[in-house]
Structure 1
Amino acid sequence: MSHPPHAVHVRAPGKINIALRVGSPRPDGYHPLATVFQAVSLYEDVVAEPAPDISVTVTGRHAAQVPTDRSNLAWRAAKLLADATGTDTGVRLHVTKGVPTAGGMGGGSADAAATLLACDLLWGTGLAREELGELAAELGADVPFALTGHTAVGVGRGDVLTPALARGRFAWVLALSDRGLSTPSVFRAWDALHPDPVPSPVLDPDLMSALVAADPRTLARHLVNDLQQAALELRPDLGDVLEVMAGTPALGTIVSGSGPTVAALASGPGDAARIAEAVTAAEVASEVLVVTGPVQGARLLEHVRGDDD
C-alpha cells in the first residue's frame, strides 16, 4: 500500500535576464516585455511537510528580509493550488534561500514554482506541468519560467514562454547587494525616464543566433536591459560595480532584471574566477558568486515516505 509522502523536497533555480526590452504600460498597467531568461545554478530549496494549515519558515541568504505571512509567494502558491484542486489539508513549507532577495533574479518566483510542484506531489493532486504553469502565471510573471528553467523567451508580462535553443554552458559572475530593489519602484523610475510612448518591444534575432552558437563573445554583444538605467537612478552605486567589471576579462555586463544583482559574462571558468576575484577585492558588492547556465527548472530532489511504503 502506498502512503502519502512525509516530506517532499523540491529545488528551483534563479534566473538572469540576458535581454529585457520594455514598452510603455498597457491599459491594465502592465508593461509589455520581451525577454530572454536563463536559469542559473543558484537555487531555492523548498521542503513541504503535511500540516493542519499553511505556514512558511525561511533560512539562508537574506532570509531576514523575507516575509513569512500570507504575502509570501510560497504561501500564496500553496493556497492557490489548494483552492484550485479543492484540497483542504495544509502544508508546512521550509524555504532555504540561495537566490538574493529582491535581487532581480526571481528568488520569490522560484519559491512559488518549487512550492507548486512540492505541494502537488505532497497532496497527490496530480496536475500536469502545463496546469501547474497556468497557476504559476497567476502568481507572477517569472514563476512559469522557474518551473521550466533552461533558456526561454518570455513575452506579454514575461509569462508567455517559448523554449529557446541554447547550446553549451555559459559562465556568469554575480555581484550581489545586501539591499534589494523593489521591482515596482524600478518600473516607476523607467516610466519617469520615458515620458513619450515606447512601442511594444522586440528581441534582436542575432541574440538567438548567439545562444544557438554557444559563443559567449557574440552573446556578450547582445546583452541588454531596458530597466538598467532606471535601476541605476535608484542605486547609483551599481555604476561602481559595472565600472569595476569593465576593467576585468568580462565579455559583457548587465543588471539582472530589475536589479540590483549585476551579472558579468565570462569566456569560461578561469576568467570567471579572475572577474570574481577583482570584484571581491574592489569591495563593491556584498557577495560575489560564480554560476553557470542554463540549468533545469523546478525538480524533485527527495520524496520521503513511511517506513512500510
Structure 2
Amino acid sequence: MSERITVRAPAKINLHLGVGAPREDGFHPLETVYTSIGLYDDVAAVASSEWSLGLDAAPYVDASAVPLDDTNIVAAAARALAALHGVPVTASVTITKGIPVAGGLAGGSADAAAALVALDRLLDLQTADDDLLRLAAELGSDVPFALHGGHALGTGRGEIVTPLPAGDAVLWWVVVPSTSGGLSTPAVYRHYDELSPSVSPEPAPATAVLSALRAGDVVALAAALHNDLQAPAVDLRPDLGDLIAAGEAAGALRGLVSGSGPTVVFLCADADAARGLAGVLQEDGHTALVANGPVAGAHLVNGL
C-alpha cells in the first residue's frame, strides 16, 4: 500500500491589517500581524503516476466554491515544485477543508502551504527552506505565513514574514463563517480604494498590537485590533456590522472582520467565555466555531 502523507495547516487571523495606497505593480503595501488559530485544512497525498485532486469539506464549508481542476492552488503548488526540481510532481491528493472558502481566513493559502510540504515529503524532493518560502510567496501573499504559523509580522504585500515570539497568552476566538457567500478579496480592496482615495502610501503601523502581544495582555490586544479592510467589507455587507455588534453585546472583548471577510472573529477573555459566546450565536442561527491559538504552521500529521 502506498504511503500516505498528511500535512495540516492553520487558518490565520490578522490582528492588525494596515493597508497603504496601491503600488505601481497594483499591489497594496501592507503592515500586518498574523496569528494562527486551531482551525485547519489537511492535505493528504499518495504516490500516483497521475495527478488527481479530491475534496472532503466540513458542513459549513461551501464545497462548490473549491475548484478541483488546475486552477486550484494545490495544483499550482505541485507545478511550482515540478518547475523548481525539473521532475514531474504527480500524486493523488485529497483536501480536507475545515477553513471556510473565501472567508478572509487564508484557507487557500493553508492548502498551498500544506501541499508544498506534503508533496516535497512524499516525493523526497528535499526542497531547501529558503526555496520553499520563495515558492510560497510566489503562490500567494499569505502562503509563507501558513508555513510559519504562530504570530508573525507581515510586510511588503504580506509575503515578507518575520516570526514573532509566541508569548504565554493563549488567545480564544469564536469564528463565525458567512452563510451568504464569500467576499472577493480584489473587490474589497477596490472598494477600499474608493472609500480611501487619499490614503497614505505607508500602511498604518502595528505598534499597539505588537505592544499588547509583548505584554501578553488580552484586553489591551482586543482594544488594539485593527483592520483597514473592515469598513469596505461592512459597507459591501452591512450584516457583518450587525453581527459584530451582536457578538460584542453578548460578551466578546472585540469583534473583527477577518482579513477581507466575510468571516467575523471574536476575541474572548478565556475558553469559557468563548464557549458561552459560541452558544449564544448558535442559538441565533449562526455557525460559531471555537478555536484558540497561536498554533503551529504547516506540519506533518502522519506519514514519512
TM-score normalised by structure 1 residue count: 0.93
Aligned to 1:144: 144
What's 1:200 paired with? 202
Residue 89 of structure 1, CA deviation = 4.2
Query: Conserved in 1, the CA contact under 8 Å of 2:22 and 2:201?
Result: no
Letter in 2 for 1:30: F
- Equivalent position SS for 2:303: strand
The answer to which of 204-213 and 21-30 deviates more is 204-213
Q: Give the structure 1 partner of residue 20 of structure 2.
A: 23
Which residue is 2:155 aligned to?
A: 155
Q: CA RMSD in A?
A: 1.4
| CA shift digits 1:132-151 (9 cap, x unpaired) | 11100000000000001001
Indicate the residue corresponding to 2:185 in structure 1: 183
Give the Cα–Cα distance (whole angstroms) in 2 for the partners of residues 241 and 282 of structure 1.
10
Instruction: Report what 2:38 is aligned to.
Output: 41
Per-residue CA distance 1:8-41 (angstroms, 9 max, x = gap): 1100001111110101100000000110010000
CA drift at 1:54: 2.3
Instruction: Report % sequence identity.
Output: 44
Q: Within 5 Å, which residues of 2 pair with 1:8-157?
A: 8-60=5-57, 61-157=61-157
Deviation for aligned residue 1:86: 1.1
**Structure-2 separation of matches of 1:44 and 1:25:** 31
Residue of structure 2 equivalent to 1:165: 165
Match of 1:257 in 2: 259
Higher mean displacement: 135-144 or 204-213: 204-213
- After superposition, the C-alpha distances for 1:202-225 in whole angstroms (9 at most, x for unaligned) are 423232121122211010010010
* Equivalent AA in structure 1 for residue 46 of structure 2: E
8 Å contact from structure 1 (residues 20, 36) kept in 2: yes
Could you say what secondary structure the match of 1:138 adopts? Answer: helix
Which residue of 1 is the match for residue 219 of structure 2?
A: 217
Q: Distance in 1 between matches of 2:52 and 2:258?
A: 30
For residues 71 and 145 of structure 1, the distance between their equivalents in structure 2, rounded to whole angstroms, comes to 21
Q: For residues 269-308 of structure 1, what are the alpha-carbon distances to aligned partners after superposition, in whole Å with 9 as ceiling and x for unaligned? A: 111112112222223x3x110100100000011116xxxx
Q: Structure 2: 5+ residue runs without aligned partners?
A: none
CA distance in 2, matches of 1:197, 1:259: 21
Q: SS of 1:221's equivalent?
A: helix
Match of 2:4 among 7, 25, 35: 7
Alpha-carbon deviations, 1:137-184, whole Å to 9, x = none? Answer: 000000000001001000011000111123121001111113111101
Structure 1 segments of 4 or more deviating over 3 A?
none
Q: Is the 8 A contact 1:244 1:278 kept in 2?
A: no
Cα distance between partner residues in 1 of 2:197 and 2:208: 29
Q: 1:100-155, CA deviations, whole angstroms, 9 ceiling, x for partnerless residues?
A: 00000000000000000001001111012222111000000000000010010000
Counterpart of 2:75, as a letter, is W
Partner SS, residue 238 of structure 2: coil
In 2, Cα distance between equivalents of 1:157 and 1:55: 31
In the alignment, is residue 241 of structure 1 matched against residue 243 of structure 2?
Answer: yes
Matched-pair contact (CA < 8 Å) for 1:164–1:208 = no
Q: Which moved more, 1:134-143 or 1:164-173?
A: 164-173
Counterpart contact for 1:54–1:78, Cα < 8 Å: no
Shift of 1:198: 2.3
SS class of match (1:237): helix
Mark the CA change 1:85 to 1:235 in structure 2 (over 3 Å): closer, same or farther.
same
| Paired AA for residue 9 in structure 2 | A
CA distance in 1, matches of 2:79, 2:92: 12
CA distance in 1, matches of 2:264, 2:132: 30
For 2:174, the aligned partner's letter is: V
